[in-house]
Chain A
Amino acid sequence: MTERSLTFTLNGQKHEAKADPRIHLGDFLRHSLGLTGTHIGCEHGVCGACTVIVDGVPVRSCLMLAVQIDGCIVETVESLGKPGNLSPLQHAFAANHGLQCGFCTPGMLMTLEAFLRATPTPTEDDVRIAISGNICRCTGYQGIVQAALDTAAAKANPT
């Protein structure tokens, strides 16, 4: 198949790349660009592990073709904090044991990152509904929910 040329902004950097039209965004990020932080869990749009932010909105990167990001702003888990300098949300995940195996974690983080920008003071129910499209098999969700609430509270009431 003929590859298409794409121009997009990825994690704050302008990028030009070529993509096979059949490749979905998740595989493109992982295997063409080497950004393996985004994980592929079901490839039918239900588990949410592959969630990234495109133009400010969380999307399932397994349900979006790579060629569709031409002209878009894409954010992945690699845009958040680094191991020595975690973002507030990442830090809250660690503090609340919001991850175990870590496989669903990048999708959870990106879903909540987009959600908290739009909903800075959520209730517990709001958070549970926000991540109701992300499956975690390890944690029982409680630590994840608390991490989101703690992050929102810290931002609303900086000490």
Chain B
Amino acid sequence: MSIEVKSVEQNGNYKIQVSGQVDLYTSPNLRKAIMEAVDKSNTSIIIQLSTVEYMDSSGVATLVEGLRSAMKQKKSFKLSTPSPAVRKVLNLARLESVFTIIESNEE
């Protein structure tokens, strides 16, 4: 498996650290972690994406699904420090403005 997903809970909120390549094969792992975090979190979920080497539309769809689920539950959903690969696919899919993007020192 070419992906690593670590979920860290702090004061009822969740930070998910993603590393490696996110594609059709690996995105179900990310989806599981995100949807669990959205359901369990008190108010906020941060997805740390600085060490993602590659992401395709399966990964983007997973992030969109997480965002939509968080919005329904009135929780905040942010992407932290997306790597150039993540920024590229968000840009190609015209979704950069849809997500709240923060830099790591803002977390």
A binds B: no
- By a beta-carbon cutoff of 8 Å, the part of chain A in contact with chain B is none
- By a beta-carbon cutoff of 8 Å, the part of chain B in contact with chain A is none
